[in-house]
Structures are given as C-alpha cells and as structure tokens.
Structure 1
Amino acid sequence: MLLDRHMVLVTRHASMLTGGKKDRKSGRMNAPTESSDAEELSFGGEPDRVSWLRSWAFAHRRSLLAGAAVLVLSGLFVAGGWHLRDLSRRPLPPPDGPWPQQNGFTVGLCGQPAAACTPAENEAAENPSGVLAALQAISGVANARLACAPSCLQKTRNVWRSRVLQGTIYDSDYPGTSFMPAYFDMTLDRWDDRARIAEQAMSIPGVWYVFPKAPDFWEGKADVAIDLCSHPAGLLCTGVHDRSVTETQKQAIVDRLWNIDGVEKIYYENHAHRTKIQEHYEIPDLPGHKGIGTVRLVSLEEMTESFYVKLTDRRAIEVIGESIKDMPGVHYVRRIGPA
C-alpha cells in the first residue's frame, strides 16, 4: 500500500512537471501538450506591448514625420546633387560674344612653288625688306611686320597631332609641310579703307596675295582647342579614312578633360556656330590674289566641330595636348593665344 501510494504521488508530480494530463476514464497519462500558461509566458505580453508602441508613436508622431521627411529630402538632395554635377560637366554652347573687330590683312610673298607670279615679281620677293617698306608706305596702314621669313619652319609646340598621323601630310615633319610661304601681318587704321589698301598692296611687286585676316573669335575665351574628326569621305583624320566623331567618343573626350587639373570650362562649337563666324568675317569685296581667284573660306563640309577649353592655369595646355591627341575622334589639339 505504501508503495502504491508513493507511485501515485510520483505520477502526479511528473504530470505537473511535464504538463501531461490523466485521462479520467482510462486513468492513463496523455502526451504532454503546449499549455495555455506557456503561451501566456511567451506571448501574453504582446497586446500590451503593441498598445504601448502605438501610444509612443502617437505621442512622437511629429518627430517621426520630421525624421522621415529628412530622410526623403536627403535622398532627393543626393540624387539632385549628382544630377546637377552631371549638368555642370556638360559642354557649354559658345558664348554670344564679344566679337573681335577685323582690322588687318595677311600679305603673302611671291617666290613660292605654288605662287602664280612673274619672274620679275619672284625676283622682287627676294628682298622682303623692300616689300615691307612699300606696305608700310600705304596710307591707312597702322603697322606691317614680317610674320614669317622665307622658308620659315612651321615646327611649333602650339599643335599636337596623333601619333598615327606621323608621316602623313598632317604631320609637321612631313616633307613639304615643314616650310610655309613668307608673309606679312598688316594692321589698318580704319577697316572701312580695306578695299583701297588691299588693291594698293596687290600692286606692289613681289606680293602674291592679300587675305583678310579674321581675328580668332576664341582668343580670350578659351586657351586650347580640340578639333574633331568631321569631314567629307576620304579626308585623313586619325590615320585611316575615319568617319565623323561619334557621340560616345565626344563624351570620352569630355570625361578625360574634366580629370585634368586646371580645366574651368568646356565649350562645344558645332557647324552652325563655325558658319556664323565665317559669315561674320567674310569679305566679298577684296581683289583676291594672283592666279588663284577670290578669297574663300572653307566650305561647310570641310569644317570641323571642336571643343574649346578655358583653363585656370595655361600650363595645363601641354598636358591636354599630350593626353587628348591620340583619342579616337580627335583630329588635333592646338593652343589658342601666345605660347
């Protein structure tokens, strides 16, 4: 009896520990089940916690809304900042002005292989100082100077050409292009007197041509120009018969320029603006030059499109020349203004 009573107590104690229940009918212990007490211990506090969170959120709703607004605005500012950065790095259109005043001529000497001059005129050209004195004696000429002596070298650090152009007619070391005809720069007191002065200059023995000297629209506005491949078929650009520069190539050039220290602005000049410059400075009423006809500027098909770069430090010109000259789509790089 004592043993049976002890077993009953042990069984009841085990039932309490394990959560098992005794079937009243069979007297057997059922398998333990999850009790509602256990559920109360695990999740019974959730309704109170949710209620507390709701109360806290309601009490701090203004702060929460302000924080959310700050996060949204921050995201917008970041996205907007990148967008503005991209816009600021896009090439600018050419400036509206100012337009430099045209007030001079380029005067060429006879005695060159291509010059259509008489033997007497070629002989007179052998004395450039005499031709210069005659030009300076014309009424209305403010200044005349020998800009390039006979057979002067065209070698200069003002132009950077691609390595693939070496040995071609676009290379300054190519035979026949290292020398250029001698010429004079002539400045006038009044541009309105241009027709008379040009006619008098053409009558001087030894003078081959008189060209209106168009001022450089970009001088003072940019420091370096990057002329792009843009030409009729068959004209050499980067060593092969390239087509015109592509938009992808243009973007690659702009991206590289912005990675060079000293770049302040990048302008893009298209055919329309270059035509505008030509029309602004074209002078149809001058006599032209011997044996070649009237003075003509390049046609639209021969014009190139270009990037013009304004620098904070002109020492970056050579860096740009060496860095950009071999890029696809680039014809050559040239300095604007004095060396």
Structure 2
Amino acid sequence: MSFRDRQEPASGYEELSFGGGDPDREPRLQVWLRAHVRLLTACAVVLALLGAAGIGGRYLYERSREPLPPPDVPASARMRIVVHLCGQYVEAWSCIGRDEATDADGRAIAARMRAMPELTDVTFVSKEEDGRRALAYYTAIGEPERADELFFHASVEATLRRGGDFAAVSARLREIPGVVTVLRELPDVWAGKADLAVALCAEEERQPRGCGREDRRALAGAPASEAEKKAVLDRLWDLPGVERVYLRDREDLTWLKRQYEPQDPAEHVTPRTERTRQTFYVKLSDPAGLAAVAGAVKHLPGVGGVFPIGLSG
C-alpha cells in the first residue's frame, strides 16, 4: 500500500498566523485591526452611546412618572363661607327646639345676608339641591348608591370680602333663627387643574373608608407606606387617559390653612377628607373616564378614598 507524498508549504509556515511562526511576518489579525481601526472606534462609541442612552432613558422614564408639585396658590383676602340651616335626623345639623328650615326660611336668611356689606355672591341652596349635588358627586366616581346613605339640609353660601371678618360675621349669622352653624371653605385650587383626588391613608384617630381593610389590618391606623404610595402612583400612570399626577403633602395643606386661619382660635377649618391627607390629584385627558379611573384605584391598599374635583359632596 502506498500513500501520496505529503506536500509541505513552500515557505514552511502556515498561511494564516496569529502570532506564531515566522517572526518577520505580521499576523493577519493585526493587519485587519490596523486597517479597520476607525470602524472599530466608531462601533465602540456607538455602543457607549447606546448604553448611556439606555441608562438616561430609564432615568428620564422614572422621572416622568414622579408626581408634580401642587400649583402655586396666591393668598386671597376673600373667603367662601357656608351657613348651614336647621335640618333633621342628624344631630350636627339639628336645632334644639326648632323644626327643619323651610325654603322660605332659607330665602329670608339669604336676603338678610345680601344686606350685609361684608358679604357678596350670596346663594341659597335648598335641601333638594343639596341632594342633587351629592348624587352628582358620587355618580362621578361610580358610587351613586352612597348618596342614599346621607341626609340633606338647606344652606346659604357666600363670599366674605375680607377673611379677617370671619369671626365677627359668623357670630352675627349664628344669632339668626334657623342657622345651626357657619363654616369656612378652603379655596378649591384644583378646579381646572385636576379631575380626581386620591386620598391616602393617614395616621389619625378616625380612618376614612378603606384604610382599615382586612388586607392591611396589620397597618390599621397607620399612614400609607412608601411602597403603597408608589403602587398607587404606578397604577395611576398605567391607566389610559391619565395626563398628569400631582402630589399634595400635609405641609402644603398646612400652609394653605394658615392663610385662612380665623381670628377666633375656637373656630377651625373642617376640610374634606382629600384635603387633610397626602393626596394624588389626577388630570385626565377626558373627564368622562373619571369613574373608571376611580374604580381602578379606590380599593388599592393605602387608599382612603377617591373624590371628584369641582363637585360638592
């Protein structure tokens, strides 16, 4: 048996070499790298830019989901007040020894208030109108049945030209037969800027609906945790139609209340639930989606309640 003679390369070395062999012959890889150094540099720069863009994009994405601070509120000398008239069934609105105020009583009280130089924009609100407002308020968040749980009464709304006159004016108004109490209202700075308020649980003696739920029983009486707050915020951003989300802290509310403190220290503001806790204020692209957004977040842990903006409840 014979074999074909093995042919050796003419030079005695392999054609492709990566560093071994002929010391006088430069490896082809080095030749290729030198020939394409600009291309490799450009690729390295592109990869670095892509990495930086990815990190920067993630940072911008996270920042874009942070809530905005509340809008600036210039202090106003004027103040809205509500004169509540005698009602029935609820002790807070009942007058000892007096029947429920009639529409005629309310209009007569409104007429007396219009004659007071300290007041302007006086409006009588009947018991029926109070009920219609409450129904619209709860219908907006998809809970019209809650209006059936309430008792309604008449009132008179007005604007006090100077907030410093509140103590003297309210004392005079409480002397009018048929008036049960006079309360101030904090200015509604969110009208036109937000459509929905999502109030978070707070550390208070009386908890709003939802903060004592079974799924956070271990946190009963505790404010919403940072994890709960972030989960609520993330859920809001994931919902269609959410354009902007603001966060109002207690510090912001404290500042606002101080601008409208009455002269009489015995008097105090009794703001609605969403105005006493950390609250997300949500602006929607279409307010018609308010009920759907409210329904998606009102049962989340850490949420004390949801409230439509611009409606009286």
CA separation in 1, counterparts of 2:97 and 2:300? 47
Letter of the 2:194 counterpart: A
Structure 1 gaps, min length 5: 1-10, 20-34, 287-292
> Contact 2:163/2:260 (CA < 8 Å) preserved in 1?
no
Q: Could you tell me the percent identity over the aligned residues? A: 29
Q: CA deviation at 1:224?
A: 0.9
Structure 2 gaps, min length 5: none
Query: Which residue among 24, 33, 48 is the counterpart of 1:72?
Result: 48
Inter-CA distance 18–162: structure 2 relative to 1 (3 Å threshold): farther
Q: CA deviation at 1:148?
A: 4.2
Q: CA deviation at 1:43?
A: 3.8
How is 1:189-204 mapped onto 2 (pairs within 5 angstroms)? Answer: 189-191=161-163, 193-204=165-176
Which residue matches 2:194?
Answer: 222
Which residue matches 2:106?
Answer: 128
> Contact 1:111/1:125 (CA < 8 Å) preserved in 2?
no
Matched, 1:279 2:258: yes
Partner SS for 2:27? helix
Matched, 1:262 2:241: yes
Inter-CA distance 124–85: structure 2 relative to 1 (3 Å threshold): closer
Which residue matches 2:36?
Answer: 60
TM-score where L is the length of structure 1: 0.72
CA separation in 2, counterparts of 1:262 and 1:86? 19
Q: CA deviation at 1:188?
A: 3.4
Q: CA deviation at 1:123?
A: 6.8
Inter-CA distance 277–119: structure 2 relative to 1 (3 Å threshold): same
Q: CA deviation at 1:125?
A: 8.3
Aligned residues: 296
Q: CA deviation at 1:78?
A: 1.6
Larger Rg: 1
Letter of the 1:331 counterpart: G
Moved more, 93-102 or 82-91: 93-102
Partner SS for 1:145? strand
Q: CA deviation at 1:282?
A: 2.0
Inter-CA distance 335–42: structure 2 relative to 1 (3 Å threshold): farther
TM-score where L is the length of structure 2: 0.77
Inter-CA distance 152–103: structure 2 relative to 1 (3 Å threshold): closer
Query: Which residue among 45, 55, 59 is the counterpart of 2:16?
Result: 45
CA separation in 2, counterparts of 1:84 and 1:333? 29
